[in-house]
Structure 1
């Protein structure tokens, strides 16, 4: 990990909130803001932002994906990092915008935006070298790394690195951690039987760790795994890594 000096750390960033966090899990967005502020970073949150365009793009609707993605480009004009609390959405913006906008008049602008996209956990570790102090009770935590985090954003090791700061947290990785949980966005809808079988296998490996909680950088995976665990009657708390970290570093003294 490269050391960042105080002067080289970004002091202002954009936040792209993602659909799932904005509409269903706003607490993860709030925790993201709090963590970045804890590290001394100012956040700009463009209110007009909507979707990165991934659902339409993955389903083969390029024109619709272009329309949605194009609406985001003008919202991030400053040459500063764009932080995304989801490896899946970050992957879409960072790596798929070049394909999506290929041959378009605004291709160059799309590439510029893409070059400034960071997934949250990677940004906290590599760019901010964030320091955290654990105020929580002893806890065993299972870490689920999403496919996008592992294979494209290359941030599979970032959550474990962040959790090393927390002396009361025993972080464990389930067996076959590199395998998909079965969510895959629209895959879970188009192939429900296969998706259900995959998530049941994932749940089995997570439960075998003896963890008391599950964390990930992608709420799509957490929603899928959490729902499957609930259907099995397994009471295992699950949180976005931003929520988990922010709660752990709060001073619990009266």
Structure 2
């Protein structure tokens, strides 16, 4: 239970989590509350990443302004997605550069964190009480790794999950081929990339794939299923929170 002076955290749920995998949001709340935070879920929209990446600056600005207003008054904003977190942290100041909201964008960027990084680097969480008997492998999603430096943090917490064995895959840091609109614009290249990734995942002998971005997980889970690899997929927070009763991603 959070103390009276507990930090007030706003959960930026993300579009994919809201529409496809709400269990990730509930697991995030459980982890944040266990870390002593008071969690709020303000009304919110898309962070604007698809607009920004597609060259729609005006659309990205409009969504950034909406998000800034929604997240006012909270000590931290926490996101169960490296890509959406990186959009707020890295891109919002550029999206609103020269605009009246530029200072507010920088303020929000400074309060925003990807969830596993927040738990370890901000709240000092060293381990969790979850347990899961499985052999898992972890994919480093591009935005979390390259934009936010998230690499060791999820592995540190996963090491504390009783019964979980982590087997590192070859080229864990290589893109899975999702890349938001990349997989739509370049489907043949994307398919080759995720095929390579599926082979590396299967090569570990793992029965469970973990990652910190739902888009990447949907992409990889789909390929693993179509190829009959026998590997299920979950967001890392589901395992860390002990929330593994829901069907794996792509099987719900």
Tell me the TM-score normalised to structure 1 length. 0.91
Tell me, in whole angstroms, the C-alpha distance in 1 between the residues paired with 2:23 and 2:100.
Answer: 37
Q: Which residue of 2 aligns with 1:56?
A: 51
Q: Is the 8 A contact 2:24 2:237 kept in 1?
A: yes
Other-structure match for 2:31: 35
1:3 aligned residue: none
Give runs of ≥4 in structure 1 deviating > 6 Å: none
For residue 79 of structure 1, report the CA deviation from its aligned partner: 4.8
- Partners of 2:200 and 2:155 lie apart in 1 by 18
TM-score (norm 2): 0.91
Contact map agreement 2:130 2:239 (CA 8 A) in 1: no
Which of 81-90 and 65-74 deviates more? 65-74
The answer to whether 1:128 aligns with 2:151 is no
Q: What is the CA-CA distance between 1:248 and the residue it aligns to?
A: 6.6
**Pair 1:73 & 2:59 matched:** no
Secondary structure of the residue aligned to 2:239 is helix
The equivalent residue for 1:16 is 12
CA RMSD of aligned residues (A): 1.8
Q: By how many angstroms is 1:244 displaced?
A: 1.3
For residues 227-242 of structure 1, the aligned pairs below 5 Å read 227-242=222-237
2:103 to 99, 108, 114: 108
| Number of residue-to-residue matches in the alignment | 242
Q: 2 CA distance for matches of 1:249 and 1:10?
A: 28
Q: In the alignment, is the contact (CA less than 8 A) between 1:219 and 1:240 conserved in 2? A: yes
8 Å Cα contact 1:134-1:168 kept in structure 2: no
Q: How far apart in 2 are the matches of 1:114 and 1:239?
A: 27
Q: 1:141 aligns to what?
A: 136
